[in-house]
């Protein structure tokens, strides 16, 4: 009875956002704006309260995991494709975080989208996005997870292109959709491989069989024999690379800034981009049996953390700076996954959800105050006009830069140390990347902070005297998000990382050979002491150096940055061109595909089908008809001659055939 009740609560948690989406989408115009947003927010709020109850039962009370099927989609022989939920410590934690951030974004949207004609449509999309993410998190099998996976991809396309009258929004939504579909091909192939080798798509049944497949291989032409587990894990990670914007499938995420700011916060904080991180953590029983896959995840994560952070230094759009920051932080999470520090990755996912949502929403507050101006070169000196927004942005920046005792300090530093203790191939390179990122992150973060809120005013003259603090419906979510951005790290670090009974419990599987968390435990003496001793660690001083460097080059000596651009023009050009990824995609993939399409059209369609088959067959018949018409002269002696010649041919053929027999 208790299990049925818990699963019913989980089902209601997922269905309430769907109900809100349907009401807003189908009845929004009839109900009006106020009723619509009240209904949707109440539904999301109730879902959040239910998730808190589930968190209490699963985490605080320690109730065992519940795996329950609701409905069978299809049956093929012995295979059953079910709508089924897995409620355990990992899914309960993730559900609560997703709904908390979603609730804040819904409240914030009331103020941000107040003047938009698509107000009710936006609420419908955001609520549907939340539903899709919850299905992804609560699924107990690959097929249902893929349903949620595709759901967030589809709705993100609708949200990024919400302002479809704008060409950049259309381009950004298409780019996000296509880049995610590339990753989804990997996920689909992984599902096919799981079904082929394990005979099921249920997590429990697959994980139970994993040890028996540890040494089994499969033939992949032209690679030869490949470990079954490694193949599945690499294909799964390709899917994660698309959703969680890992190099080289990161290109869609900066373009998604063309959507309204509330969805930028929701997509990039706790939902879509963290889906890949959650998926790999959920699949830890698989990844632990493939050192090769873990090394790939480690190297890709480290590369993303460093090189995407560098790109943020050259950006002037405040939302794009935060977007590249998101990609970099996702790289940290992936590096933690590769080092088998899954708990640390989820820990950083949680803290990042709070302070990154805070930064995006604070940036949105600035954008609203400046009448949708996003270029930091047209800002400056806003701290005195927007003190609450400024304070919340500072809190988010300090958390992002891992300054103690803010939340990001605990989660980010643990990831750096976990990568340091890893002995997998590529760990040394990844450690260099995440350590260098400790300097790069404060550099671009405080560059944005100083350019926006300090330095001299560069506001458009028409806006002078018209810049005010945002309304309370915008500020309240900022204030609420600022609280966990400060305290969540200290509150959770012991329970999630160093406790004997970790918060995620047996939702995560780590083999003894990969357990870097045990090595870290020997150096941990409490959250407060960890913060007090931060001054003894290299990441802390790299972070301080990054803040000071940003202050020097932005606030004190801005001419130095211009000198550096000229002195290192080649490096600057590479960063401005984003390492050529976008150019490569446009020239090779986009234009190459278009040229290939034109070539196939000209050759196969125009020349072969139209020219040879259609027009050619018609021309051949016309020629035969015209030629045959010439034989019909109407003269009797012509026909007699043809008959005689025909008889001679048949006689000759008969004689030749007879003598040869």
C-alpha 390: how far from its chain's center? Answer: 28
pLDDT value at 119 more than 80? yes
Residue linked to tokens 């660690």 = 537
Per-residue model confidence (pLDDT) at position 13: 94
Do 407 and 487 contact (CB within 8 A), yes or no?
A: yes
Backbone torsion region of residue 246, taken as left when φ is above 0, otherwise alpha when ψ lies between -120 and 50, otherwise beta: beta
How many of the other CB atoms lie within 10 Å of CB of 234?
Answer: 20
Residues 155 and 518: their CA atoms lie apart, in Å, by 40
pLDDT band, very low/low/confident/very high, at 223 (cuts 50, 70, 90): low
Residues 351 and 411: their CA atoms lie apart, in Å, by 7
Per-residue model confidence (pLDDT) at position 82: 82
pLDDT value at 659 more than 60? no
Residues 358 and 366: their CA atoms lie apart, in Å, by 12
Q: Which helix (H) or strand (E) holds 68?
A: strand 66-76
What residues contact 248, with CB distance under 8 A and at least 6 apart?
581
pLDDT value at 212 more than 80? yes
pLDDT band, very low/low/confident/very high, at 587 (cuts 50, 70, 90): confident
pLDDT value at 297 more than 70? yes
Distances (CA, A) of 170 to 166, 257, 321: 7, 12, 21
3-class DSSP state for residue 65? Answer: coil
pLDDT value at 298 more than 80? yes
Give the range among 134-143, 358-367, 369-378 with minimum mean pLDDT.
369-378
C-alpha radius of gyration, the chain, whole number:
31
Residues 509 and 506: their CA atoms lie apart, in Å, by 6
User: Of the candidates 212, 326, 314, 218, which has an alpha carbon nearest to the alpha carbon of residue 269?
Assistant: 326
Residues 342 and 281: their CA atoms lie apart, in Å, by 6
Mean per-residue pLDDT, 598-612: 79
pLDDT value at 660 more than 60? no
Burial of residue 555 (number of CB atoms within 10 Å: 0-12, 13-18, 19+): middle
Residue linked to tokens 């920046």 = 397
Per-residue model confidence (pLDDT) at position 409: 92
pLDDT band, very low/low/confident/very high, at 577 (cuts 50, 70, 90): confident
The whole-model pTM stands at 0.89
Do 67 and 138 contact (CB within 8 A), yes or no?
A: no
pLDDT band, very low/low/confident/very high, at 251 (cuts 50, 70, 90): confident
pLDDT value at 661 more than 60? no
Give the β-pairing of 224-227 and 79-87. Answer: unpaired
Do 490 and 404 contact (CB within 8 A), yes or no?
A: no
Residue linked to tokens 């940290």 = 332
DSSP character for 78? T
Give the range among 141-155, 309-323, 555-569 with minimum mean pLDDT.
555-569
Average pLDDT, the chain: 87
Mean per-residue pLDDT, 20-33: 90
C-alpha 635: how far from its chain's center? Answer: 83
Q: Read out DSSP for 505-545? A: GGGS---GGG-HHHHHHTT---HHHHHHGGGGSHHHHHHHH
Task: Kindly provide the b/e burial profile for residues 321-345, where b requires at least 16 CB atoms within 10 angstroms of the residue's own CB.
Answer: bbbbbbbbbbbbbbbbbbbbbbbbb
Q: What is the pLDDT of residues 485-543, one digit of tens each?
A: 999 988 888 888 888 778 888 889 888 888 888 888 877 778 888 888 888 889 999 99
Give the range among 390-394, 491-495, 503-507, 629-633 with minimum mean pLDDT.
629-633
Q: What is the pLDDT of residues 306-350, one digit of tens each?
A: 999 999 998 988 989 999 999 999 999 999 999 999 999 999 999
Q: What is the pLDDT of residues 424-461, one digit of tens each?
A: 999 999 999 999 999 999 999 999 999 999 888 888 87
Mean per-residue pLDDT, 8-27: 92
Per-residue model confidence (pLDDT) at position 380: 83
- Per domain, the residue ranges of the chain are 340-355+364-576, 580-660
pLDDT band, very low/low/confident/very high, at 463 (cuts 50, 70, 90): confident
Give the range among 14-23, 187-196, 621-630 with minimum mean pLDDT.
621-630
CA-angle at 438, arms to 432 and 441, nearest 5°: 125
More confident residue, 526 or 545: 545
Per-residue model confidence (pLDDT) at position 332: 94
């Amino acid at each position: 009875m208790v299990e049925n009740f818990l699963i019913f609560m989980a089902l209601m948690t997922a269905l309430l956002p769907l109900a809100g989406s349907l009401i807003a989408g189908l009845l929004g115009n009839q109900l009006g704006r106020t009723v619509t947003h009240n209904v949707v927010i109440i539904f999301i709020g109730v879902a959040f309260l239910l998730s808190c109850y589930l968190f209490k039962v699963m985490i605080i009370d320690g109730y065992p995991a519940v795996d329950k099927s609701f409905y069978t989609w299809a049956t093929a022989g012995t295979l059953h494709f079910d709508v089924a939920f897995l409620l355990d410590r990992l899914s309960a934690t993730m559900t609560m975080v997703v709904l908390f951030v979603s609730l804040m974004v819904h409240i914030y949207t009331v103020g941000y989208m107040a003047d938009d004609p698509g107000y009710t449509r936006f609420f419908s999309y955001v609520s549907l996005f939340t539903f899709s993410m919850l299905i992804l998190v609560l699924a107990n099998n690959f097929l249902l997870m893929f349903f949620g996976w595709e759901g967030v991809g589809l709705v993100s396309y609708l949200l990024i292109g919400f302002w479809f009258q704008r060409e950049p929004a259309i381009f950004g939504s298409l780019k996000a959709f296509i880049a995610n579909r590339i990753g989804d091909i990997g996920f689909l192939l992984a599902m096919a491989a799981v079904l082929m080798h394990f005979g099921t798509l249920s997590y429990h049944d697959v994980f139970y069989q994993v040890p028996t497949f540890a040494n089994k291989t499969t033939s992949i032409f032209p690679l030869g024999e490949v470990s079954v587990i490694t193949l599945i894990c690499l294909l799964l990670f390709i899917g994660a690379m698309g959703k969680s914007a890992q190099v080289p499938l990161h290109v869609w995420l900066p373009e998604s800034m063309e959507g309204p700011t509330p969805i930028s916060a929701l997509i990039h904080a706790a939902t879509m981009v963290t889906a890949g991180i959650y998926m790999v953590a959920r699949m830890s029983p698989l990844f632990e049996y493939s050192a090769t896959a873990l090394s790939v995840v480690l190297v890709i994560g480290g590369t993303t953390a460093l090189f995407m952070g560098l790109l943020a230094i050259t950006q002037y759009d405040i939302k794009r700076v935060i977007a590249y920051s998101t990609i970099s932080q996702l790289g940290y999470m992936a590096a933690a996954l590769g080092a088998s520090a899954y708990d640390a990755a989820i820990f950083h996912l949680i803290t990042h959800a709070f302070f990154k949502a805070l930064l995006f929403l604070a940036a949105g507050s600035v954008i609203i105050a400046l009448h949708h101006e996003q270029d930091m070169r047209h800002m400056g000196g806003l701290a005195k006009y927007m003190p609450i927004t400024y304070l919340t942005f500072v809190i988010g920046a300090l958390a992002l830069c891992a300054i103690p005792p803010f939340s990001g300090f605990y989660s980010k530093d643990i990831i750096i140390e976990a990568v340091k203790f890893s002995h997998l191939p590529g760990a040394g390179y990844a450690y260099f990347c995440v350590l260098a990122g400790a300097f790069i992150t404060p550099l671009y973060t405080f560059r944005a902070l100083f350019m926006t809120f300090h330095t001299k005013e560069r506001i458009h003259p028409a806006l002078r005297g018209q810049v005010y603090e945002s309304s309370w419906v915008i500020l309240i979510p900022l204030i609420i998000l600022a609280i966990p951005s400060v305290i969540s790290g200290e509150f959770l670090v012991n329970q999630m990382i160093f406790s004997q009974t970790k918060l995620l419990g047996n939702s995560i599987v780590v083999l003894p050979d990969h357990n870097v968390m045990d090595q870290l435990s020997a150096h941990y003496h409490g959250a407060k002491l960890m913060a007090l001793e931060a001054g003894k660690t290299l990441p802390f001083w790299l972070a301080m150096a990054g803040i000071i460097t940003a202050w020097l080059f932005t606030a004190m000596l801005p001419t130095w940055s211009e000198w550096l651009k000229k002195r290192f023009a080649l490096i600057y050009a590479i960063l401005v061109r984003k390492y050529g990824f976008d150019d490569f995609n446009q020239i090779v993939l986009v234009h190459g595909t278009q040229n290939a399409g034109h070539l196939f059209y000209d050759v196969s369609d125009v020349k072969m089908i139209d020219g040879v088959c259609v027009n050619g067959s018609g021309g051949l018949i016309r020629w035969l008809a015209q030629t045959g018409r010439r034989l019909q002269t109407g003269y009797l002696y012509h026909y007699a001659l043809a008959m005689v010649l025909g008889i001679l041919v048949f006689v000759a053929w008969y004689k030749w055939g007879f003598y040869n027999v």
